[in-house]
Amino acid sequence: MRELARTFQAFNAYDDEHIRQLGLTAPQFDVICTLGNTPGMTMGQLAEKTLVTKGTLTGIIDRLERKGLVRREVPPANRRCFMIVLTTEGDRVFEEVFPAHIAYLKQRFSKLNEQELEEIRLSLRKLRQLFQPIQN
């Protein structure tokens, strides 16, 4: 039981350190990954996917906008909402930084063989289903 919390803590520390080196915070990185390879998303959709309240998301998007990584577009059909879209620079970050981050994590995984990886993958999937009843 504690195993899960400790593993998570260790992973998170490792993960977070690299994200910060890239000049982003974990929630900001999460938003960029969520927006990557999509035509954009409203604040509401984005808040739901990233598990953040809408009020909190406003601040995160403000900061990403200030960094020039996303922009708010007003769809003519419904002027109450925004489409949050990656800018060219934001897309570049997604295309370059995201794989770099994966590669960074892969360094550690390379110590395992294929069978071990498959077992871990299976275990994680089971765990995730346990804690994430609502699947996307």
Partner DNA sequence: TATTGTTATACTCTATAACTATA
Partner DNA sequence: TATAGTTATAGAGTATAACAATA
Hey, what amino acid is at 19? I
What's the Cα-to-Cα distance from 15 to each of 58, 60, 86, 103, 105, rounded to whole Å? Answer: 24, 19, 22, 12, 7
Phi, psi dihedral angles at 33 (to 5 degrees): -65, -35
Q: How far is Cα of residue 85 from the mean position of the Cα atoms in its chain? A: 15
Assess 56 for contact with DNA (CB under 7 A).
yes
Tell whether residue 79 is a contact of DNA (CB under 7 A): yes
Q: Are 86 and 94 in contact (CB under 8 A)?
A: yes
Q: Which stretch binds its own copies (CB under 8 A): 53-61, 62-70, 74-82, 116-124?
A: 116-124
Pick the closer one to its own copies by CB: 80 or 126: 126
- Which residues of this chain interact with its own copies, rule CB under 8 A? 1, 3-15, 51, 102, 105-106, 108-109, 111-112, 116, 119-128, 130-132
- Which residues of this chain interact with DNA, rule CB under 7 A? 25-28, 42-44, 52-63, 72, 77-82
